[in-house]
Chain A
Amino acid sequence: MTALVFSLILLVSALAAGLLGALSGLGGGVVIVPLLTIVFRVDIHYAIGASLVSVIATSSGAAAAYVREGFSNIRVGMFLEIATTLGALVGAWLTTRVPTHAIGTVFGLVLLYSAYTSLKQHHDLLTQKPDALALRLRLKGRLPTGPDSHEDYVAQRIPAGFSLMTMAGVLSGLLGIGSGAVKVIAMDQAMRLPFKVSTTTSNFMIGVTAAASAGLYLRSGYFAPALAMPVMLGVLAGSLIGSRLLVRIHVRTLKIVFALIIVALGVEMIFNSLSGRL
C-alpha cells in the first residue's frame, strides 16, 4: 500500500469516527485508538499520540459554538482544570512506563464504561442548597432555559468532583483521549450541575487537559507526523460536519449503533491486550 492510499483510507476512517463521535456526543477520540491499533495494526503509542491531537482539535473547534449558547461555565471549568491537568501529568508519565497490554486493558474498560454512560438517561439532580465552599469559589451560574427564563444553580460536593476530575485527567494522559464521559459524571453526578452545563463545560476543558499531556508525548516521540496528519484532519472535519447535522437527525438510534461499535472495540481491545497481541 502506498503512503497516499494509506493516508486517504485513514482520512476517511477518521472522518467517520469524528462524525459518529459528534452525533453520539462521545467525541471522536475514543474510537481512534482502537481503530488504529485493531484495524490498522498501529502501535498503541503512535495511536495515542494521533488521538490526542484530534481530541485537542475537536474540543477547540467545537468550543466556539458552545460558548455562544451560554451554557458552559468558565469558572467551573477553570477551577476543575487544575485537577485535570495535574491528573494528565501523572497519566502521561504512566503511559511512558506502563506496559502496552495494561494500557490496552484500561482502554477497553473505559470504552465499555463510555458506551454504558452514553445510553443512560440523564436526570438533572439540581439543588439550590448553598454549598459554602462552592459559594466561596463562585462555582455557580445561571442556565438559560428559554428566551426570558433561566435557572440558577450552585455546585455541590466539590471535593468529590475534584477527585473525579483528577481521575479523568489521569485517563486522558494515559490513553490520549478527552475522557469527556468521566468529566461529565464528575460535574452532573458528583457536583450536581445541570447536564447541559456539564457537557459543554466538559468539552471546553478537554483541550486544556489534553494539552497537559502533549509536551511529554512530543518528547517521547508519540507524534508521528504522517500518521497524525490524516487522523487529525479527518476527525476535525467529521466532528464539524456532525455538529451541524446534530439538530436535524434522530440521534437515539445512532447512539445505540455507536455504543455497540464501542462495546465491540472495547471487548476486542481487552482480548488483544490479555492475549498479548496488542
Chain B
Amino acid sequence: MTETTPPAAHSPSPHGSAWTDQRVEIWVGIMLRTGVMLAAAIVLLGGVLYLAHSHGPRPDYTHFHAEPASYTTLSGVLHGLAAFDPRAIIMLGLLVLIATPVARVGMCIVGFLFERDHLYTAVSTIVLLILLYSLFFHK
C-alpha cells in the first residue's frame, strides 16, 4: 500500500482492504468518465463534420446491408481517418467507447494485484480474457 490519499473518499477506514477497494473504485470511476467524455467528444466532432459535408437525403436504414469494411475493422477505420472521413472519426469515438469498460477491467486487475487479492486478480483476468477474445476473435 502506498501513501497517496484517495481523491474524495467518504470516511475511508485507514486500514484493511476497504480503504484500497474504495481508492481503486474512485480511480476506476474517474477513468470511466474520462473515457466516455473523450468518446463523446470524438463522436460529436465526427458528427459535425459528417453533417457539414452531407447535403443529400438521409441514409436509408430500412434494410440491413452490413457496413463496408472501412467501418467494420480497425485498419479500415484508420485508413478512413487518414482520408479524413467523418464517419471514420465517429467510428474512432465508438472504438474508444468500447475500449473504456475493457480498460476498467484492466485497472481492477492492477488494483487487486496491489491488494494481493489473488482470487480476484484471477477473476478479473478471466473477464479480461473473455473480453479480448470477443473483441478480436469471436465469430
Interface residues of chain A, those whose CB is within 8 Å of chain B, are 1-7, 40-46, 53, 56-57, 59-61, 63-68, 70, 72, 74-75, 78-79, 81-82, 85-86, 88-89, 92-93, 137-138, 142, 144, 207-208, 210-216, 218-230, 232-233, 236
Contacts and interface: CB of A to CB of B under 8 A. Distances in A.
Contact of A59 (B24, B72, B94, B101): B101
Given A57-B40, A64-B30, A226 B59 contact: yes
A43 B64 contact: yes
Interface residues of B, number: 69
Given A61-B33, A223-B91, A89 B62 contact: no
B51 A7 contact: yes
23 contacts: A2-B54, A2-B56, A3-B59, A53-B97, A56-B100, A60-B36, A61-B32, A64-B29, A67-B29, A78-B108, A78-B120, A89-B134, A138-B119, A211-B131, A216-B134, A221-B65, A222-B66, A223-B91, A225-B90, A226-B50, A226-B59, A227-B61, A233-B47
Q: Name, among B24, B65, B123, the residue most crowded by chain A CB atoms within 10 Å (CB to CB).
A: B123
A207 B102 CA distance: 9
B113 interface: no
Given A211-B102, A229-B43, A233-B40, A223 B123 contact: no
Contacts of A4: 51, 54
B135 A215 contact: yes
Interface SS majority for chain A: helix
B77 to A, nearest CB: 9
A254 B100 CA distance: 31
Contacts of A3: 50-51, 54-59
Interface of B: 8, 10, 18, 21-22, 24-26, 28-30, 32-33, 35-36, 39-40, 43-44, 46-47, 50-51, 54-59, 61-68, 71-73, 87-88, 90-91, 94, 97-98, 100-102, 104-105, 108, 117, 119-120, 123-124, 126-127, 130-131, 133-139
Contact of A229 (B8, B25, B46, B65): B46
Nearest to B7: A68
A217 B10 CA distance: 40
Given A53-B97, A211-B131, A220-B66, A137 B119 contact: yes
A92 B94 CA distance: 18
Nearest to A218: B72
A93 B40 CA distance: 28
A256 to B, nearest CB: 30
B108 A86 contact: no
A5 B59 CA distance: 12
Contacts of A41: 61-62
B13 to A, nearest CB: 10
A240 B98 CA distance: 19
Given A224-B61, A229-B90, 11 more contacts: A2-B55, A41-B62, A43-B62, A60-B97, A74-B28, A79-B120, A137-B119, A138-B117, A211-B134, A212-B131, A233-B43
